[in-house]
């Protein structure tokens, strides 16, 4: 699960050093996290797409979107 930490560092480091975000590094990081989530949901028999859609509906109701 180190991918989440790597993505967090890629997002935060440039802010701390007043540098531009490395877009390629961010793309890789987001893809890694997405793949990790897909693997974990499959391991636990969770329908990833359904879970995301259900959560979006809950957020829309909660925030009246």
Which residues are within 8 A (CB) of 12 and not within 5 positions of it... i.e. 6 or more apart?
Answer: none
Is the pTM here over 0.85, yes or no?
no
34-42 long-range contacts (CB < 8 A, ≥24 apart) are: 35/3, 36/1, 36/3, 36/4
d(CA 64, CA 16): 35
pLDDT, tens digit, 9 for 90 and up, residues 35-58: 999 999 999 999 999 999 999 999
pLDDT, tens digit, 9 for 90 and up, residues 9-39: 889 888 778 888 889 989 999 999 999 999 9
Tell me the domain boundaries of the chain. 2-63
Neighbours of 29 (CB within 10 A): 20
């Amino acid at each position: 699960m180190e991918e989440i930490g790597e993505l967090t560092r890629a997002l935060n480091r440039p802010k701390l050093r007043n540098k531009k975000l490395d877009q390629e590094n961010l793309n890789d990081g987001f893809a890694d996290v997405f793949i990790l989530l897909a693997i974990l949901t499959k391991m636990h028999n969770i329908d990833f797409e359904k879970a995301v859609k259900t959560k979006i509906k809950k957020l829309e109701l909660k925030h009246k979107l």
